[in-house]
Structure 1
Amino acid sequence: MNKLNFKEMSRAELRAYIIATHDDEAIYELFVNRRNPNAKKYPAPLDEAGFKIMEEAFHRKIQGESEP
């Protein structure tokens, strides 16, 4: 099986692939390599409430939704 080249995929294709497979390398490509330099920053370490906020933000981003 050939390895996918995530760098050649559009953001929409990459999001769809992540939703279908939960591939860690694809997630890294989307959230680290293609991050918006103006994106909201989350300080570490996070408490449980902070982690929940960050997790919900990731799910919204993957689904293509904007912040509330």
Structure 2
Amino acid sequence: MKPNFETMTREELRAYVLENREDDEALAALINRRDPNAVKYTTNDPEEIKEILRKKIAGEI
């Protein structure tokens, strides 16, 4: 029996998805909770992606 994804916090749902990677329904529920105001990056350049990730990890963005 699957848990009720609607009642789970985002953190609980994320943990569930990480433990149940084959559960597409849970992944879809997590994706649907994304922040509509999140920054979108539109690059395919691997070096630029590395730099963005470095800045994100360092807390610069």
State whether TM-score is above 0.5: yes
Partners of 2:20 and 2:2 in 1: CA distance:
14
RMSD between aligned residues: 2.4
- Compute the displacement of 1:37 (Å): 1.0
Q: Please tell me whether residue 38 in structure 1 is matched to residue 55 in structure 2.
A: no
Spell out, residue by residue over 1:30-53, the C-alpha distance to the aligned partner (whole angstroms, 9 max, x if none): 11x21101113356xx96x5xxx6
How many residues of Structure 1 are paired with residues of Structure 2 in the alignment?
A: 49
Structure 2 runs not aligned, ≥5 long: none
Higher RCO structure, 1 or 2 (CA under 8 Å, sep 6+): 1
Per-residue CA distance 1:5-63 (angstroms, 9 max, x = gap)? 101111111011011111211111111x21101113356xx96x5xxx6xxx8xxxxxx
* Structure-1 residue corresponding to 2:24: 24
Greater Rg by CA: 2
Q: TM-score, normalised by structure 2?
A: 0.57
* Unaligned ranges ≥5, structure 1: 58-66
Q: Which amino acid aligns with 2:36?
A: P
Normalised by the length of structure 1, the TM-score is: 0.52
Aligned to 1:61: none
